Structure 1
């Protein structure tokens, strides 16, 4: 029996990738990448409010808290929010469809790409086979990138709790649909009639000192199925934005 175990690269980070509601029709003819997966334990089987992507409480409960962490798929934070189908390969224990997850954290295991929550790990198993699957600790898996779909949610901009109005603004993007990666974020400086680039602080968190006064418009450089493009959200943050509040953009990524 292989005993479950892994080492966190970031001491503050318990790894999370979160399962989301994704496209219902999944063809088994598409290419998968072979890898390995393990799991981390939590008292309530939910995700964690900490993590390298900076998603906070969103990473704890999104999509019924089916969560895991990734290593090389993290891509220095660009991989945050990406969705994957992960299925284990022990035919007597594993379901055909596996579990769908979205990246919300970084971590390294025993040659693993995915470190799942117990809830997500169990969903790879056939009915009544979860305990047997847990006994393996680390299992061979195959995975593929799939589009994310969040029914009923637009792309949201959460003002990070470390923001300080009006001197410092940090944001994190939530409910990132499609099969996209955020390459850059810019903020509109109306008095100068120009766009200012924000810094990727870490993971999915972008920040800027001395943001402009008034309502704030943001522009995202997105890499997805349509190639590299820009998506703009006008006046998405109010003039009196507050730390910890998530603002609806009224748009979604293609």
Structure 2
């Protein structure tokens, strides 16, 4: 996988958003082992979470929170509720911040992810930060918070001359991408459709091959939009990942 760094420009920007109060009534479990190897891949399409900057600070979401994949990339602050469990560490004063990278489907072990329950299936290291793993499942309170990411938004271009599939990742701010458009140096903006997770698709046109590519990204929660101009140079290849050299990202 090749990373290339290009320039970007701001289309519009909104003021940083305020986090909401904690919501109670959710539960958390864990999957994977101490090395978090079981968390690689996932329904959001981010692939190798270590190579792509997500690490172990991740969670799978139940149907109630996953929003058919539109919550992918969103960040949550989570605390164990000590008044409801003996397994919480530090009397529930510890909190973690995790990025949504996967889906916990209905029918999973214990039924915790069945609708309409809000549930977080955390990586093992994150669960172990909040509670003794022997507890298995814990009551938690949670809230959406701004994502803090190193570097700029990244675009991985996959597909072929007639079918573009772009994975948008490492998104800061609200983190949840709601809309993506693509533009070549000699074309107008073309709206892309979400294919799965945070993979966005377009049927071409083929003439985009050989053009420098720009991307317009809009977030869901804040509606903030950024334009990443000529991020991929004219000689880009399928399978490459591009990031602007200024490190432009959401706030």
TM-score bracket, shorter-length normalisation: 0.7 to 0.9
Select 2:218's aligned residue among 193, 218, 221: 221
Report the TM-score, using the length of structure 1 for normalisation. Answer: 0.74
Structure 2 stretches of 5 or more lacking a match? Answer: 1-18, 114-118
Report the TM-score, using the length of structure 2 for normalisation. Answer: 0.75
Structure 1 stretches of 5 or more lacking a match? Answer: 1-26, 126-132
Which secondary structure state, in structure 1, belongs to the residue aligned with residue 220 of structure 2? strand
Counterpart for residue 237 of structure 1: 232
C-alpha distance in structure 2 between counterparts of 1:62 and 1:47, whole Å? 16
Counterpart for residue 149 of structure 2: 150
1:127-183 deviation digits (Å, cap 9, x = unpaired): xxxxxx2222111111111111113x11111224xx23x333211112111124321
Which secondary structure state, in structure 2, belongs to the residue aligned with residue 56 of structure 1? coil
Report how many residues are paired. Answer: 213
Which secondary structure state, in structure 2, belongs to the residue aligned with residue 179 of structure 1? coil
Counterpart for residue 126 of structure 2: 120
Counterpart for residue 74 of structure 1: 66
C-alpha distance in structure 2 between counterparts of 1:237 and 1:82, whole Å? 25
Question: Deviation at 1:197?
Answer: 1.0
1:213-233 deviation digits (Å, cap 9, x = unpaired): 3111111222344xx243111
Per the alignment, do residues 47 and 58 of structure 1 end up closer, same or farther by CA in structure 2, a change over 3 Å counting? same
CA contact (8 A) 1:48 1:60 kept: no
C-alpha distance in structure 2 between counterparts of 1:33 and 1:68, whole Å? 17
1:183-211 deviation digits (Å, cap 9, x = unpaired): 111112554x4211111010100011224
CA contact (8 A) 2:32 2:38 kept: no
Counterpart for residue 204 of structure 2: 210
CA contact (8 A) 1:47 1:60 kept: no
C-alpha distance in structure 1 between counterparts of 2:175 and 2:55, whole Å? 22
C-alpha distance in structure 2 between counterparts of 1:186 and 1:103, whole Å? 23
Per the alignment, do residues 100 and 59 of structure 1 end up closer, same or farther by CA in structure 2, a change over 3 Å counting? same
Question: Deviation at 1:244?
Answer: 3.1
Which secondary structure state, in structure 2, belongs to the residue aligned with residue 123 of structure 1? helix
C-alpha distance in structure 2 between counterparts of 1:210 and 1:222, whole Å? 23
Per the alignment, do residues 107 and 198 of structure 1 end up closer, same or farther by CA in structure 2, a change over 3 Å counting? same
